[in-house]
Amino acid sequence: MQKKRFKISKYDLLKGYFFLFGFPKDGFVSIDVTNKCNLRCKHCYFFEQDVEEHELKADEWYEKLLEMKRKKTIPFLQCTWVGGEPLLRKDLIEKGRKLFKYNTIVTNGSFPIPDWKDNVNFYISIDGDEERHDLVRNKQGLYQKIKKTITESPVPVTVAFCINNLNHHSVEKCFHEWRNHPNVKNFCFDFYTPIETLSDDLAMSWELRDSLVDRLSRLKEQYPDFLAIDLEVLELMRSDRCRKVTDDCVFARQASAFDPSGIRKAKCMLGDKADCDRCGCVVPFYMYSLTHKPTVIKNTLRKWFVKPFRKKAPLKEPVYP
Ligand code: SF4
Ligand code: SF4
């Protein structure tokens, strides 16, 4: 047990690199592959942006990326392919992904997963159990469709649950439902980020968000490999700590998000109307946890000496309204 605690993994080495040298400028990019989608979800930030109708053709995108590579504008480490629905333009991702060391494709699960085994992770978005998911996604039968997509996928996938005010009751239920699926390698969560022009019905109170951090921390302690969010990242998402991260967002400062016409967005993939103060996207919290030196030192010492992050309040069972 003691031995395992001090074992150094590849991920630890990467963390060491980020600690020493910081997060490489544009080491993380996101590309909106298309401005089209087969769905219209209640929480969609994408269609709230002032996105141009025009989208670059696949070969125009490829040329643009090649030009960036020639000029060394970005280091081509990690690219997240989003949208719209990115699998509507497989041709672009098929070519573009080969330029990056790592790729993540975030899809709504309506379309078959391509057989791309190297350097790609597929994230399938869900918004609660079957009833809540189909309600938030405005599409009856989608949850069952996703199950079929995942079962038939040629590669194991990650299921990504965006928690909001309508679906937070089903966090544990969903987690356990997918935990035993042979084609789901792990599970992750985001909190819904309020968007200026969308109704606030989906936004959660701070109290609720903190209680969810407690619930997710317990799942992490029980299923450390299957839940793919570190405890220190969850801690940063608490109401009394999150502003430290979002007031100077590492994503906005060090990463880049491109819209479908190839233009850099002002701050991040969520667009200008995202409420940074209530940001629930896990990415800036991850980036902070890997690069903010006092936080890294504190978390490392805490891990080595196995100290809990904080005394947890007794959990109340979530109840469906
Ligand atoms: S699947 Fe994604 S892009 Fe499409 S409507 Fe839903 S949130 Fe928006
Ligand atoms: S919405 Fe979140 S990820 Fe985007 S710039 Fe604001 S804090 Fe950063």
Indicate the Cα dihedral angle 284, 211, 82, 271, nearest 10°: -60
Q: Is the pLDDT of residue 89 over 70?
A: yes
Q: What is the per-residue pLDDT for 306?
A: 62
**What is the domain-level CATH number for residue 196?**
3.20.20.70
Q: Is the pLDDT of residue 283 over 80?
A: yes
Instruction: Verify whether ligand 2 is closer than 6 Å to residue 281 (CB atom).
Output: yes
User: Tell me, what DSSP letter sits at residue 192?
Assistant: P
Compute the distance from residue 285 Cα to the ligand 2 centre, in Å. 10
Whether this model's pTM surpasses 0.85: yes
The reply to whether 132 falls in a domain is yes
Q: What is the per-residue pLDDT for 166?
A: 94
The reply to whether 318 falls in a domain is no
The reply to whether 12 falls in a domain is no
Q: What is the Cα–Cα distance from 125 to 146, expressed in whole angstroms?
A: 9
Instruction: Verify whether ligand 2 is closer than 6 Å to residue 191 (CB atom).
Output: no
Residue carrying the six token digits 């990690």: 78
Instruction: Verify whether ligand 1 is closer than 6 Å to residue 39 (CB atom).
Output: yes
Give nearest CA residue, ligand 2 atom 4: 268
Which own/partner pairs from 292-299 qualify as long-range (CB within 8 Å, at least 24 positions apart)?
Answer: 293/19, 295/232, 295/236, 296/15, 296/19, 299/232
The reply to whether 31 falls in a domain is yes
Q: What is the Cα–Cα distance from 145 to 142, expressed in whole angstroms?
A: 5
Q: What is the per-residue pLDDT for 7?
A: 66
The reply to whether 317 falls in a domain is no
The reply to whether 191 falls in a domain is yes
The reply to whether 243 falls in a domain is yes
The overall average pLDDT reported for the chain is 91
Q: Which domain holds residue 197?
A: 25-304
Question: How far lies 89's CA from each of 155, 199, 256, 281, in Å?
Answer: 19, 30, 21, 24
Q: Which residue has the higher pLDDT, 303 or 69?
A: 69
Overall number of domains in the chain: 1
Q: What is the per-residue pLDDT for 297?
A: 83
The arithmetic mean of pLDDT across residues 87-102, rounded, is 95
Q: Which residue has the higher pLDDT, 30 or 307?
A: 30
Instruction: Verify whether ligand 2 is closer than 6 Å to residue 106 (CB atom).
Output: no
Q: What is the per-residue pLDDT for 298?
A: 79
Q: Is the pLDDT of residue 241 over 60?
A: yes
The reply to whether 100 falls in a domain is yes
Residue 150 CB: number of other CB atoms within 10 A? 20
